[in-house]
Amino acid sequence: MSSKKELRKIVFARRKEATDSEIEEKSSRLFARVTEMPAYKEAKRVFCYADYNHEVMTGAFMEQCWRDGKEVAVPRVNGDVMNFYRITSLDQLSPGCKGIPEPLDNPEKGYDSESCLADDWEDAFFIIPGVAFDAQRHRCGYGGGFYDKYQELHRNHTTVAVAFDFQVLDEVPADEYDIKPMYLVTESTVYH
């Protein structure tokens, strides 16, 4: 079995090889599956990451959430913890930790993140990123442990990891503190 470090290297190379149009098309197909899930349809609130560097693209999905009347919150890293903040527009995101788009205070756009803290949304439909997965939904993240730590404290969410088919590998090493998502959705399959 490959180490998580080796898996990250493999998947990052695959993501780099994919064209922008391939990433966009696969993301669209993937989220068409997500929006058909009963748990999505029933949800009033959605936690979603802002994509970066050829991840599954989430912007069009967040726009769909707003059209569907759902509230949306996006994570921001604050030191060694991650918190979620409600946003009402993708314009409220700015490059944050490691260049990843985050909801940052922006007086010019009238955005004050502290008034938008959404960590008390304990029933959100929770979209989770990752680098690599296997069919048993074991997840290899980016190495910071932010999503595992967050889920350890907030356990009532319907958790849905999203990944491209090329990110699903034969086996991903799992530690006892790793938390598996309830679902893994790719452009071709839903694992549960």
Please report, for the domain that includes residue 125, its CATH number: 3.40.50.10420
Angle separating helix axes 20-34 and 59-67, nearest 10 degrees:
30
Are residues 7 and 131 in contact, defined by beta-carbon separation less than 8 angstroms? yes
pLDDT given at position 24:
98
pLDDT given at position 72:
98
Q: Distance between CA 97 and CA 101 in Å, rounded?
A: 8
The boundaries of the domain holding residue 122 are 4-191
pLDDT given at position 110:
79
Q: How far is CA 129 from the centre of its chain?
A: 4
Number of domains observed in the structure of the chain: 1
Query: Can you give the pLDDT of all 192 residues of the chain as single tens digits?
Result: 789 999 999 999 999 999 999 999 999 999 999 999 999 999 999 999 999 999 999 999 999 999 999 999 999 999 999 999 999 999 999 999 889 999 988 888 778 888 999 999 999 999 999 999 999 999 999 988 999 999 999 999 999 999 999 999 999 998 777 889 999 999 999 999
Are residues 83 and 75 in contact, defined by beta-carbon separation less than 8 angstroms? yes
Are residues 117 and 49 in contact, defined by beta-carbon separation less than 8 angstroms? no
Are residues 92 and 105 in contact, defined by beta-carbon separation less than 8 angstroms? no
pLDDT given at position 2:
83
The count of other CB atoms within 10 Å of the CB of residue 10 is 15
